[in-house]
Amino acid sequence: MRVYKKKRRYLTEKVNFEIILESYYKLLEPHEDWSNSGGEIANLRAKDALMIFYDDYINRQVDQNYIACQGLNYHYSFLDDLCLLRDLLRKQRYREVCWELRSLMHHELIFQKRIHNSLKQLLKDELMEAK
């Protein structure tokens, strides 16, 4: 089987976004569930994890260099994900939010300004101020 080396686009001289992303993966992975099963307690634990993520994410420095999306994505393809996250947050399906958020991190560059601002605002409105 042929194996392609994954091109990592986050490495800059100042901030290693790769390491930050790994920490986010570790934080969200135990809580993610595609169908939000596991009961109310698991759902609330997922919400706590999302709050920890939010607190860390808002204080992070954004990538100063513009990087265009690659693959099948385009500049605003993250809007789809944001709409879905907004829906799920309103329905309080936090385990599904963890799932979708990790997918967003994989497919999009969440430290780019265009995504950072929108995601920050969404989490602030629908997660932090809705508690």
Partner 1 sequence: MMGFLSFTEKLKKRKNKLVHSDKVEKNNVELKNGIIYREINGRREYSGATDTAKYWIETLDTLQEKIHFVDFLAEIIKDDVRTDYMASIIYCEDIKNIRDEQVPFLLYYWDENNEKHFIYCKDEVKDLNLATDCVIVWPWTFEKIKNSFKTLHYHDFETTNNRQKAFYFKGLDLACVSKGNHSTLVGMGLKKGSILAREIYDIRKLFPHVDTDGVKWINHHTQEIIRSVPDFRFAILYQLARMKFELENID
Q: Rule CB under 8 A: which residues touch partner 1?
A: 1-7, 29, 32-35, 37, 70-73, 77, 80-81, 84, 99-100, 103, 106-107
Shortest distance, CB of residue 11 to partner 1, whole angstroms? 13
Which amino acid makes up residue 88?
Answer: L
Give me the residue label for tokens 């969404």. 122
If the CB atoms of residues 98 and 127 are measured against partner 1, the closer one turns out to be 98
Q: List CB contacts of 36: < 8 A, sequence separation 6 or more.
A: 43, 93, 94, 95, 96
d(CA 109, CA 70): 10
If the CB atoms of residues 62 and 87 are measured against partner 1, the closer one turns out to be 87
Shortest distance, CB of residue 44 to partner 1, whole angstroms? 19
If the CB atoms of residues 63 and 100 are measured against partner 1, the closer one turns out to be 100
Shortest distance, CB of residue 42 to partner 1, whole angstroms? 13
If the CB atoms of residues 85 and 127 are measured against partner 1, the closer one turns out to be 85
Burial of 22 (0-12, 13-18, 19+ CB in 10 A): exposed
Shortest distance, CB of residue 59 to partner 1, whole angstroms? 26
Q: What are phi and psi of 11, to 5 degrees?
A: -70, 120
Give the residues across from 11 on adjacent strands. 16
